[in-house]
Amino acid sequence: MNVFDFSLRLNGFPLKKAKTELHRILQKDDADFESYVKLQKSTIVRYHLEHNAYYRSFAHKSNIDNWYSLPVMTKRDLQLPLNERLSTGYNAKNVYVNKTSGSSGDPFIFAKDKFCHAMTWSIIQNRFGWYDLDFNTSKQARFYGIPLDKKGYYKERFKDFLSKRFRFSVFDLSDTAFEQHLKKFKNTPFSYINGYTSSIVQFAKFLERKQIYLKTICPTLKACVVTSEMLFEDDKNLMTDYFGVPVINEYGASELDLIAFQNTNNDWQVNSETLFVEVLDDNNQPLALGEPGRLVITSLYNKAHPFIRYDIGDIGTLSTNSTLRLPVLENLVGRTNDIAVLPSGKKAAGLTFYYITKSIIEDDSLVKEFVIEQLEKQLFKIIYVSTEALSEEKKSTVIQEMERYLEKGLTISFERQDHLQRSKSGKLKQFTSYVNSAS
């Protein structure tokens, strides 16, 4: 019995209809696909202008025949009571309701109509199918957070049961916990690993220290899918070596859909079937392929709640090889609120600091994890977990490299901790700036 599919249908999500629709889209040739996207964009805009009072007010100055006249939405625009944002005929009881993680600093409650949510799951199942993974039959080793209150805890455990998942806590990344993980892998025919990048990387580092190759312990393992946090190439190589399976990069947003998924050609393929993705500059003008900018996304199927030209808060680049049918995400630089403004006025993506320091302070394997905080324009703190304190020589090297790649005059402090603070969901925010860019 397909328990996962059945549970979705039981909750009112028309999965069969959605799979039929997705199959229809995938069968289109390039010309028909272009017509489909154009029609779907027009249809969803017209729907919300007619049936959604909030969007009608928000986009009242727009010309419906000019896509670029439609205003760009941000998370802050949507921080209103949900019932004020729902389309006519929808309410909290007949839609899928959830809350964004808040990793952008602007959390809000959102909704999807049930067909839209079914389309989301159809896309996800299609992408996992590229690697012969089936949500109904493939056993998942899940590295995620879990609510600690009794009701939330058992609700997630029940969902895991229905979804053929076993959840490993990301709140304890000690060797003792990883030893228990290994026992579970020895005794369970897992098909794939799925979860937060940083915690799975730590499990791979544990295997490296012990010189254990996971595939020899769990021969049924086929793949590892990482999500929600940045995947660095050296971490990917480490996981590939010690897991013995392909490592797949996933990028999504709960309020939208699966946005991009690494295909079997190693391209980060953007979901063009249910989303329309644009890359815009600071003036909301479209950028050429290959140029980094703000990712602005339209949900082509959500009638319950408008996500039209929605600035997700991330900065990325579409490859010059992208087409309308097969856009490829070349890189994801980071969140727009992860930009560091330096004393000179120069701006740098927060990941710049992480790239620079990562290779330096992890090369001797003493440092397990670290994050970087910008406290003032010139003041940065590196908080790290390690088996012993960094030497003064190592600290000096880090400071020199940061000044070489960024600018001189920066003050870098170091703080060693036993463990890093994670969000309630278990995610690790690798760079945080507490400096207002306008200051």
**Do residues 390 and 417 lie in contact, with contact meaning Cβ atoms separated by under 8 Å?**
no
Position 206 confidence tier, pLDDT thresholds 50, 70, 90: very high
Q: Is 433 in a helix, a strand, or coil?
A: strand
Position 357 confidence tier, pLDDT thresholds 50, 70, 90: confident
Is the model's pLDDT at 228 over the cut of 90?
Answer: no
The residue ranking higher by pLDDT, 26 or 163, is: 26
Say what the pLDDT of residue 364 is: 56
**Across residues 251-275, what is the average pLDDT?**
95
Question: Rounded to an integer, what distance in angstroms lies between the CA atom of residue 97 and that of residue 83?
Answer: 11
**Do residues 336 and 314 lie in contact, with contact meaning Cβ atoms separated by under 8 Å?**
yes
Position 367 confidence tier, pLDDT thresholds 50, 70, 90: confident
Least confident interval from 22-36, 41-55, 157-171, 264-278: 157-171
Rg (CA), the chain: 22
Say what the pLDDT of residue 439 is: 44
Say what the pLDDT of residue 199 is: 87
**Across residues 269-285, what is the average pLDDT?**
96
Stated pTM of the model = 0.82
Neighbours of 329 (CB within 10 A): 24
Domains and CATH numbers, the chain: 3-335 (3.40.50.12780), 342-433 (3.30.300.30)
Quote the distance between the C-alpha of residue 299 and its chain's center. Answer: 16
The model's pLDDT over 291-347, given as tens digits with 9 standing for 90+, comes to 999 999 999 999 999 999 999 988 899 999 999 999 999 988 766 556 788 898 887
Handedness of CA 55, 59, 60, 66 (dihedral sign): negative
Question: Rounded to an integer, what distance in angstroms lies between the CA atom of residue 157 and that of residue 317?
Answer: 37
**Across residues 188-193, what is the average pLDDT?**
97
Give backbone dihedrals phi and psi of 204, rounded to 5 degrees, phi first.
-65, -40
The residue ranking higher by pLDDT, 154 or 189, is: 189
Position 104 confidence tier, pLDDT thresholds 50, 70, 90: very low
The model's pLDDT over 119-139, given as tens digits with 9 standing for 90+, comes to 999 999 999 999 999 988 999
The model's pLDDT over 3-21, given as tens digits with 9 standing for 90+, comes to 888 888 988 999 999 999 9
Average pLDDT over the chain reads 89
Could you give the percent of the chain with pLDDT greater than 90? Answer: 59
